[in-house]
Amino acid sequence: MYFTSQDIVGDITERHFRIGEIPGVLWTPTSAHADSPAPLILLGHPGDLGRMHPRLVARAQRAAADGFATASIELPGGGDRQPLPEIERARNDLHAALAVGGPIDEVVDRLVLPLVSQAVPEWQSALDGLLALPELRGPVGFSGGILAIAIRLARVEPRIEAAGFFAGSFVPRSMFEEARQLTLPLHVLLQWDDSGNDRQLALDLFDAFGSAEKTLHANMGGHTGVPEFAGDDAARFFKRHLG
Amino acid sequence: MYFTSQDIVGDITERHFRIGEIPGVLWTPTSAHADSPAPLILLGHPGDLGRMHPRLVARAQRAAADGFATASIELPGGGDRQPLPEIERARNDLHAALAVGGPIDEVVDRLVLPLVSQAVPEWQSALDGLLALPELRGPVGFSGGILAIAIRLARVEPRIEAAGFFAGSFVPRSMFEEARQLTLPLHVLLQWDDSGNDRQLALDLFDAFGSAEKTLHANMGGHTGVPEFAGDDAARFFKRHLG
């Protein structure tokens, strides 16, 4: 892992890094307490760090206000990483199936399962590199992004002690058993009127999560219209568990 | 409306009152700002002010910390009010139907609709009396209690500008049309693992509410096990809309 740039953006320091071929970004609070190590929240996203940058920076700034460092890495096939033609094909097939209202289980499996298998070890490697830095420490949180990746990562990675899930993407039915095995505190955000999402799947998954503390926050505003107060609620969840 | 007692309980002043035959309680903050009128939150409950007193006082204290006055009145047939034998019979019939897993729609109608019809004008009279006091002012919120009463009151009473619903009691299917007519901001609390509740009814109702701002917070802990952080979230909802 090595850094390729460093910038001050408001109250945070943004450093781009690479871990092997994978680009990533680390944001640390540049506050009075910046000399003691900060707990880390990994920021999930749907792919393409460049396109997602403004929203990731806003989330990083919100987290830094509570004393958290944040980091993210590019997804397999995302941004300027090597394209994954089979996943691209599956993504197109999913959009086509949704447009005609056809069955989607097979194509969701074909799209999501390989992405999960490849992404999760990459996030774990990034975590190894990040936690070796003196300015970062556990406990670690994971927030948002592709739900199936977040579920697998929360299941296999014990350093993640609290997770904020965004229930806004398709999860293969075969992953329900993994959902049942989760035990960490969960804060689940659902956009109730997200027309491109399977709301019943999200509710079924919330029911399946094995965690003793799990909270569902459902709001209006469509897929990208999460209200500001819902972001504040999620921030308080991480403060309670990682602060 | 006349007061029958006055006590200081921690940071609040508790005054019992009667409006006609109906007993009620008013809690006002005894803080530095107690000389300017406080916005009012009406506290719903399942009936029997005496039995519910400790929990109502805790809610009143939480609200007073944000500068709110709170008040509640006894439900028809509740506490030491004149018993309502038909409603008692319906309540027993409901428990019997639930115990054998039989159909409940007819008995829910028989239990809830007369209670709603009688209770709602009583809450409105109480509101008339309370808002005539110089120490209280609008905007008014309504929080918790029997969901069907809260829905009807929120629909017919324009002085109520924000409502926190507790989705933990049966609502007649005939009231869905009223739910669709609501436009005020709503904060809905659902105990996901409340075994005596109809969770699907609660989710269907949340979907039906016509309000542009509506939020569902679902938590674990059973009917009476609302986590403290969920109470804090509800308090912030009222602060945002009435503060």
pLDDT one-digit tens code per residue, B133-182: 999 999 999 999 999 999 999 999 999 999 999 999 999 999 999 999 99
Q: What is the mean pLDDT of residues B10-39?
A: 90
Cβ-based interface (< 8 Å): residues of B facing A = 192, 203, 206-207, 212-220, 227, 229-230, 232-233, 236-237, 240
Record: contact B216-A192, CB cut-off 8 A = yes
Chain A residues closer than 8 Å to B184 by CB: none
| pLDDT digit string, tens, across residues B154-167 | 999 999 999 999 99
Q: What is the DSSP string of A93-116?
A: HHHHHHHHT---HHHHHHHHHHHH
Number of helical (H) and strand (E) elements in chain A, helices listed first: 7, 9
Chain A residues closer than 8 Å to B213 by CB: 220, 227
Q: What is the DSSP letter of A15?
A: E
pLDDT given at position B31:
72
- B230 vs chain A: nearest CA distance in angstroms? 9
| pLDDT digit string, tens, across residues B189-223 | 999 999 999 999 999 999 999 999 999 999 999 99
Q: Say yes or no to pLDDT of B33 above 60.
A: no
Instruction: Specify whether the CB–CB gap between A185 and A159 falls below 8 A.
Output: no
Q: What is the mean pLDDT of residues A31-36?
A: 67
Q: Say yes or no to pLDDT of A47 above 60.
A: yes
Nearest residue of A to residue B190 by CA position?
A: A216
pLDDT given at position A117:
98
**Measured between alpha carbons, how far is B113 from A79 in angstroms, rounded to an integer?**
58
Nearest residue of A to residue B186 by CA position?
A: A219
pLDDT given at position A34:
59
Size of interface A-B (CB pairs under 8 A): 51
Share of chain A above pLDDT 90, in %: 95
pLDDT given at position A121:
98
Tokens read off for A26: 């680390």
Nearest residue of B to residue A213 by CA position?
A: B220
Tokens read off for A85: 């033609």
Record: contact A229-B206, CB cut-off 8 A = no
pLDDT given at position A57:
97
Nearest residue of B to residue A186 by CA position?
A: B219
Cβ-based interface (< 8 Å): residues of A facing B = 192, 203, 206-207, 212-220, 227, 229-230, 232-233, 236-237, 240
Q: For B211, phi and psi rounded to 5 degrees?
A: -65, 140
Record: contact B216-A212, CB cut-off 8 A = no
Tokens read off for A102: 């056809």
Record: contact B218-A216, CB cut-off 8 A = yes
Beta-bridged to residue A72, according to DSSP, are A25
Nearest residue of A to residue B232 by CA position?
A: A233
Q: What is the mean pLDDT of residues B55-72?
A: 96
CA separation, residue B93 to residues B17, B90, B197, B202 (Å): 33, 5, 16, 21
Record: contact A216-B214, CB cut-off 8 A = no
pLDDT given at position B35:
72
Record: contact A206-B192, CB cut-off 8 A = yes
Half-sphere exposure of B98 (CA within 13 A, CB side): 14
Q: What is the DSSP string of B155-213?
A: HH-TTEEEEEEE--S---GGGHHHHHH--S-EEEEEETT-TTS-HHHHHHHHHH---SS
Q: What is the mean pLDDT of residues A152-161?
A: 98
Chain A residues closer than 8 Å to B234 by CB: none
Share of chain B above pLDDT 70, in %: 99
**Measured between alpha carbons, how far is A169 from A171 in angstroms, rounded to an integer?**
7
pLDDT given at position A33:
57
**Measured between alpha carbons, how far is B215 from A191 in angstroms, rounded to an integer?**
10
Alpha-carbon torsion (B152, B153, B155, B161), positive or negative: negative
**Measured between alpha carbons, how far is B218 from B167 in angstroms, rounded to an integer?**
10
Amino acid of residue A28: T
| pLDDT digit string, tens, across residues A59-73 | 999 999 999 999 999
**Measured between alpha carbons, how far is A13 from A74 in angstroms, rounded to an integer?**
19
pLDDT given at position A106:
96
Please name the member of B214, B218, B230 whose beta carbon is closest to the beta carbon of A220.
Answer: B214
- Which residue ranges make up each domain of chain B? 2-81+117-242
pLDDT given at position B32:
53
CATH superfamily label, A2-81+116-242:
Alpha/Beta hydrolase fold, catalytic domain (3.40.50.1820)
pLDDT given at position A80:
93
Q: What is the mean pLDDT of residues A114-126?
A: 98
Tokens read off for B209: 């509410």
Record: contact B240-A229, CB cut-off 8 A = yes
Segments in chain B forming alpha helices (H): 49-65, 85-100, 105-131, 147-156, 176-181, 199-208, 228-242
pLDDT given at position A243:
85
**Measured between alpha carbons, how far is B96 from A116 in angstroms, rounded to an integer?**
49
Say whether domain B2-81+117-242 belongs to CATH 3.40.50.800.
Answer: no
Please name the member of A213, A217, A218 whose beta carbon is closest to the beta carbon of B220.
Answer: A213
Q: Given the structure tokens 């739900």, which residue do they identify?
A: A147
ipTM score assigned to the predicted complex:
0.93
